[in-house]
Amino acid sequence: MEVKTSLLDNMIGVGDMVLLEPLSEDSFLENLRKRFDHSEIYTYIGSVVISMNPYRSLPIFTPDKVEEYRNRNFYELSPHIYALADEAYRSLRDQDKDQCILITGESGAGKTEASKLVMSYVAAVCGKGQEVNKVKEQLLQSNPVLEAFGNAKTVRNDNSSRFGKYMDIEFDFKGDPLGGVISNYLLEKSRVVKQPRGERNFHVFYQLLSGASDDTLRKLKLDRDFSKYNYLSLDSAAVNGLDDAANFRTVRNAMQIVGFMEDEVQSVLELVAAVLKLGNIEFKPESRCNGTDESRIKDKNDLKEMCELLGIEQSVLERAFSYRTVEAKMEKVSTTLNVAQAYYARDALAKNLYSRLFSWLVTRINESIKAQAKTRHKVMGVLDIYGFEIFEDNSFEQFIINYCNEKLQQIFIELTLREEQEEYVREGIEWTNIEYFNNAVICDLIENNQNGILAMLDEECLRPGTVTDETFLDKLNTICAEHQHFESRLSKNSKFLTDHSLPHNCFRIQHYAGKVLYRAEGFVDKNNDLLYRDLSQAMYKANHSLIKQLFPEGNPAKVNLKRPPTAGFQFKASVGTLMRNLQTKNPNYIRCIKPNDKKASHIFTESLVRHQLRYLGLMENVRVRRAGYAFRQAYEPCLERYKMLCKRTWPHWRGPAREGVEVLMSDLQVPGEEFSYGRSKIFIRNPRTLFFLEERRRQCLQDLATLIQKIYRGWKCRSHFLLLKESQIVVAAWYRRYAQQKKYQKIKSATTVVQSYTRGWQARKLLRELKYQKRCEEAATTIAAYWHGTQARMELRRLKQEARNKHAVTVIWAYWQGTKARRELRRLKEEARRKHAVAVIWAYWQGLKVRREYRKFFRANAGKKIYDFTIQRIMQKYFLGLKSTLPSMSPIDKNWPSRPYLFLDGVHKELRRIFHLWRCKKYRSQFTEEKKAVYEEKLEASEIFKDKKALYPSSVSQPFKGDYLEISKNPKYQKLNSAVEEKVLLADVVNKINRANGKGTARIFLLTKKSVVLADQKTGQVKASVPLPDLTSVSVSTQSDGFFALRLKEGSASAVKGDFLLSSEHLIEIITKLHHIGSTTADREQLNVDISDEFLVQFKQDKVCVKFIQGVPKNGNSVSCKRKNNRLLEVSVPTTA
């Protein structure tokens, strides 16, 4: 049986500081130390969880632990962050209360890990399902992406959040997550361009260079060596326990799960690479003729690669780094930038580029994880924001971060300490007022709209004239000199005569966490956060899709001369929105404490923990809890929960709920000092009292369960007994009926048997008498029959003897005559046997044996029938065998089964001829009209060229396409197509041979039913048109060339310039179509085709002989034509193998 532990079981130290005795700062620290040494990192102050960073992995975050804390009372088990997460989740799910979990503490105290644990617990205990699991996975996987781009190694923390994150997780009515919304606050973008000693830039730069593939780095124009990039610090590039390569793969996978497209991931990596390239751009000074200084880029290689990554013209960005344009109403003034200003512009661009990329990432993640339904949802907010920071050199960023922590401390004071006291007053509970430090005065010093530090900083930034950090500090000294929490060299609170730790350019603020010294240098520039408009416009001109979204103010069409809001103003507004959001939700607090500054396990630095204990106000929180009450509950739910502990209130209390609670507490004999009655609630001072009530309730529930089981079992047994009794009566009645029926059937059956036996005996007796009488009658008849038979047989024997005596002489005489005849026959046979001797005797003997053997099987004419049967069987076997071995239906298949018998030779050949004719007919029947026309042309080509032209065999497998130029579809030949009126049967590019040099000129060859057209290939202009009646013949060679001559009718209009000598790759098709047109036209003579290796061609007035020879042309394997003299053109054709 599982043993359920509680907060008080096996407790190391005290699990809830409210129970600590005696209560002092030393005992508080000692209790934390004792629990920390035993790996108990969580401690309660009422409902507040104190979390100590162990700086090591502990086995207390397993799935078994999640199940252990699931749906359990907050104080039921030992302190754990899961208990707070479960309490918040169940309050949201069951009571419909929006929740927020505020995680506060110093940098390195473990806030980020605490937020991850809360989110992972909520994801583990909420519902399941494909859509729900997808939403949970996207919410969890958003953390690695934001950590890579927003976290960095600092001297205090290897994974310090350099931005604030607040995530609202939205749930449906069942408690299943629907989506979320992430808000980010003040990314520390100055880290992009400069990092303090011992710290790193943001993780993503190192992850990209360590984990990306060589191909990816080549595309991004990057190198793995960190030392090649000015923006990356080298002294802390490698961190123990941090695998940048593995983390890069994790980030890529997380981006895919969240919903980033592959092109979006590539765009993000390109921008990260561009920031690294931007840091390598260096400037050198140059003096102009007018005496002013300007800057020039030293090495433009990094600038070139960056511009290629972002799709920006190099000259545009180079000018933006060298000049600044100032616009005022209708005027524009362009000034040059010196080296210092150029470096400022470069760093400003890098910071803005990275910070805007980070904001885009947050927006893109919100698009993926936002809830789709538009109904109201339950919301749980998780705040993970930078902790209080006190460095050796504190600047504007630390000022803003500490201001945010002041506001969080203020909300903690308002919602925890002050609300606690106000509720007791509201309920009329007497108690001693606890004085605590209210940091509202510090918040007012910073954010007051009139005299606040942020307001004065904005006023200085907007003031015309020379504005420096010194003028800002002077203004602070003037206005804030009297404030008790402000110190400077000129304020009344500083002891500048003896305090040498306060330099002249610094001021000190006494925060709730302690005094912090701020260096005023850089406050004005960082608050302005200016990016020159030239750089914004240069970025907007980029062809990169993401850059245009990040720099919308660079659009020339939307130029805004209004000064953008300052960084301090924006952050103050964001913090105000956050505070208003938190005040609408039920708060749950996790106060993170850092045990040491060495980031080492098992080390507890008392002074550091004491400092955090003081500025977190934990002692005041414990005093309020101890002076007040640890538990409070309205009377109605309290009575409903514990009414079974008293007989007077169980099961129903008829009076007011408060009176019922009073009766209940009196009956339980709870000491009066342990509780108090408010106007609407009962307040229990000590958690032990609550545990006592819960334990009594648990025991009572067990007793009630036992009672219910007893009553149920009694009812069940009685019901079962009555059912058995009723069933027994029914069964007995049915059995008696059945027994009587069986007895009656048995008596009836016995009576029937006796009757049947009696009737049988009587019948058998009568049968025996009848049988005896019948046998007597049959015996007399038989004796008479036997007697008459004997008399008849005796008379027959007498008559037969007389007949035999009369026939004896006749028989003897016949035998004698036969004897004589046989003697004569033997004599004659002997004479015959001498003539036919052995052959006749043997033949007759063989025939006799055959006839004796087969007489029983055959009748007359058996030989003819056997012959006919044998022939019929052979023919049947022949045709069946021929059926199974028929060749394919292809007309070119020459296979045919072999002849089985010689006498079937004629039939075998005739059948082969008939089958071939039949399959040819079947094959032709499948042809379309177009296909028939193609085969008719192929057949006509075979009749013309087969065994006559060496080029013919290679053309057989090539289909006749006709229009090779697609002249009707190609817009290039639209004009030529409109010039030809008839349908084009063939369109191809041919070479017209020039008589002068034998070289060819490309011409378009068009063939219609009426004419042949030659046109220029480039312009489409018609060069010649020859009507088909003017063609008398065509001359070709026997070789494998494509030359042919069109012979024209003498005296015709087309023959003025003479015949045409052409060359084409589709010679066979051209001549076949010309021949086919002549043969299918009734009023036209058929075109003659002259095939010879030597023929005459008429060129104007002269006849030229064209001679074809075999040889090796100079230009390789192609045919070449060369002029030998005025009367001879020689064509060299390659020798075919």
What's the CA gap between 719 and 192, in Å, rounded? Answer: 82
The pLDDT of residue 274 is above 90: yes
Instruction: Report residue 953 CA to chain centroid gap.
Output: 56
pLDDT for position 276:
92
List 15, 46, 108, 568, catalytic entry: 108
What's the CA gap between 578 and 564, in Å, rounded? Answer: 22
pLDDT in tens, 617-638: 788 778 767 666 767 778 887 8
Average pLDDT over residues 588-614: 89
List 120, 157, 1008, 1132, catalytic entry: 157
The pLDDT of residue 749 is above 90: yes
Is 161 part of the annotated catalytic residue set? yes
pLDDT for position 861:
64
| Torsional sign, CA 124, 125, 129, 132 | negative
Burial category of 1046 from C-beta neighbours within 10 Å (exposed 0-12, middle 13-18, buried 19 and up): buried
Average pLDDT over residues 699-714: 90
Question: Which percentage of the chain shows pLDDT scores above 90?
Answer: 18
The pLDDT of residue 587 is above 70: yes
pLDDT for position 2:
37
Is 574 part of the annotated catalytic residue set? no
What's the CA gap between 897 and 882, in Å, rounded? Answer: 7
First to last CA, the chain: 97
List 87, 147, 318, 389, catalytic entry: 389
Q: Tokens for 36?
A: 């920390």
> Which of the given ranges, 14-28, 40-54, 623-637, 863-877, has the highest pLDDT on average?
40-54
Range in 295-309, 929-943, 1061-1075 with the lowest mean pLDDT: 929-943
Q: Peptide bond before 595: cis, by omega within 30 degrees of 0?
A: no
8 Å CB contact between 277 and 221: yes
The pLDDT of residue 1026 is above 90: no
8 Å CB contact between 562 and 172: no
pLDDT for position 480:
87
pLDDT in tens, 125-182: 887 777 778 888 888 888 899 999 999 988 878 888 888 888 888 888 888 888 889 9
List 160, 955, 1040, 1132, catalytic entry: 160
* Amino acid identity for residue 243 in this structure: D
pLDDT for position 4:
38
The pLDDT of residue 222 is above 80: yes
List 78, 107, 416, 1064, catalytic entry: 107
Average pLDDT over residues 269-277: 93
What's the CA gap between 1011 and 730, in Å, rounded? Answer: 115
pLDDT-derived band at 840, boundaries 50, 70, 90: low
Question: Which percentage of the chain shows pLDDT scores above 70?
Answer: 92
Write down the pTM of the prediction.
0.58
Average pLDDT over residues 814-832: 85
What's the CA gap between 91 and 75, in Å, rounded? Answer: 15
What's the CA gap between 854 and 869, in Å, rounded? Answer: 17
Cβ-Cβ contacts under 8 Å for 521 (sequence gap 6 or more): 395, 469, 505
Is 112 part of the annotated catalytic residue set? yes
What's the CA gap between 139 and 368, in Å, rounded? Answer: 9
Q: Tokens for 1088?
A: 């003659």
Average pLDDT over residues 288-294: 67
pLDDT for position 49:
93
If you search the block for the tokens 């009572």, which residue do you land on?
Answer: 700
Is 477 part of the annotated catalytic residue set? no
pLDDT in tens, 536-551: 888 888 888 888 888 8
What's the CA gap between 1134 and 1041, in Å, rounded? Answer: 9
Q: Which of 40, 54, 44 is nearest to 12 (CA)?
A: 40
List 31, 47, 120, 161, catalytic entry: 161
The pLDDT of residue 433 is above 90: no
Higher-pLDDT residue of 452 and 96 is 452
The pLDDT of residue 859 is above 90: no
The pLDDT of residue 6 is above 60: no
Higher-pLDDT residue of 359 and 921 is 359
Q: Where are the beta strands (DSSP E) in 1037-1077?
A: 1043-1048, 1060-1063
pLDDT-derived band at 329, boundaries 50, 70, 90: low
Is 387 part of the annotated catalytic residue set? yes
pLDDT for position 5:
47
Average pLDDT over residues 67-88: 87
**Could you please report the per-residue DSSP string of 164-217?**
EEEEEEEE-TTS-EEEEEEEEE---GGGGT---TT--SBHHHHHHHHHS-HHHH
List 31, 51, 104, 112, catalytic entry: 112
The pLDDT of residue 9 is above 60: no
The pLDDT of residue 1084 is above 90: no
pLDDT-derived band at 763, boundaries 50, 70, 90: very high
Looking at residue 1058, the DSSP 8-state letter turns out to be: B
Is 596 part of the annotated catalytic residue set? no
pLDDT in tens, 346-401: 998 999 999 999 999 999 998 888 887 777 688 999 888 777 777 788 888 888 88
* Amino acid identity for residue 808 in this structure: A
Is 672 part of the annotated catalytic residue set? no
Q: Which of 439, 395, 444 is nearest to 567 (CA)?
A: 395
Average pLDDT over residues 84-108: 86
pLDDT for position 483:
86
Is 994 part of the annotated catalytic residue set? no
Q: Tokens for 111?
A: 């806030």
pLDDT for position 496:
47
Looking at residue 158, the DSSP 8-state letter turns out to be: T
Residue 581 has phi, psi (to 5 degrees) of -65, -45
pLDDT for position 218:
92
What's the CA gap between 649 and 646, in Å, rounded? Answer: 5
The pLDDT of residue 494 is above 80: no
Looking at residue 1056, the DSSP 8-state letter turns out to be: G
Q: Tokens for 319?
A: 């000018």
pLDDT-derived band at 748, boundaries 50, 70, 90: very high
Average pLDDT over residues 772-780: 89
What's the CA gap between 549 and 540, in Å, rounded? Answer: 8
pLDDT for position 497:
45
What's the CA gap between 311 and 539, in Å, rounded? Answer: 9
HSE-CB for 497 with a 13 A CA cutoff: 1
Higher-pLDDT residue of 727 and 624 is 727
8 Å CB contact between 981 and 1020: no
Range in 143-152, 1016-1025, 1082-1091 with the lowest mean pLDDT: 1082-1091
The pLDDT of residue 998 is above 70: yes
pLDDT in tens, 1092-1116: 888 888 887 788 888 888 876 665 5
Task: Using DSSP, state whether 692 is helix, strand or coil.
Answer: helix
pLDDT for position 202:
92
Higher-pLDDT residue of 1130 and 1 is 1130
**Rounded mean pLDDT of the chain?**
84
Range in 70-79, 488-497, 742-751 with the lowest mean pLDDT: 488-497
What's the CA gap between 692 and 705, in Å, rounded? Answer: 20
